[in-house]
Amino acid sequence: MLALDLLTPSLPLLVPPETFDGFGWAVSTTLTWRCPLGAPALNALDDQLPLGMAFVLRAPWESIPTELAWLHVGRARAATLGLTDQLALAPYAIDDATDLLFAEKRPPAETFWLAADNANALYWALHDWSHFHNHGEFTDRPSTELQCDAAALAWLWINRANIGLPDALWEDYRRDALANHLALRETMPETRCPPPQVLSDAGELRRLAERLVG
């Protein structure tokens, strides 16, 4: 098993301010991650469920949709992590969590820890972690998602040595995230989202990540 507090320092705002009504309402510092393997599986970027991850609740929370955590990490891997009947955020309820954390002013790090056994799940968990700290109405999805994709990639870059994430796989994720972003923009030509240079320029993204940890 691997247990790490991933560094998740807040990013600067990269998109128009009206994208968020609660940008940085909770200060992001770390995400506690437990991996049932000695290292995460190194797989391709893919947003299709199941992702093999669970945001496990640290304490009961009545208002959020939940499911048994082990259903999402598998019985054997859950046992490795000491998970029995613990509840996790339902995978379909990421947007609900984004709204309810903000509405109830629950700091995400005091609410969830992450169980995940693969690098793709880590990407999406970190993407969601950005949503959880930056509330928006999802009215301009390309802008909302650009901020979260940049955060996920910056945080993976900062933590890559501890995660065991090869630079080449990070680069694959960056290219795939850019392709996803460009496809999303095509569905919303009226977006106010700036050109996604933060995703298209690997050097700029790495420098942004390195500035976050000084």
- Residues of the shown chain interacting with Zn ion in the complex, contacts defined by CB under 5 A: 145, 148
Cβ closest to Zn ion, residue 26 vs residue 148: 148
Cβ closest to Zn ion, residue 14 vs residue 78: 14
- Kindly write down the DSSP assignment for every residue of 39-62, as one continuous string: S-B------PSP-SEEEEESS--T
Cβ closest to Zn ion, residue 54 vs residue 148: 148
Cβ closest to Zn ion, residue 53 vs residue 148: 148
Q: State in angstroms the smallest separation of the CB of 127 from Zn ion.
A: 5
The letter for the amino acid at 120 is N
Q: State in angstroms the smallest separation of the CB of 51 from Zn ion.
A: 13
Strands 66-68 and 20-22: unpaired
Sequence-distant (≥ 6) Cβ neighbours of residue 1 within 8 angstroms: 34, 35, 36, 37, 38, 80, 81
Residue nearest to Zn ion as judged by C-beta position: 148
Q: State in angstroms the smallest separation of the CB of 134 from Zn ion.
A: 10
Q: State in angstroms the smallest separation of the CB of 21 from Zn ion.
A: 16
The burial of 126, by beta-carbon neighbours within 10 Å (0-12 exposed, 13-18 middle, 19 or more buried), is given as buried
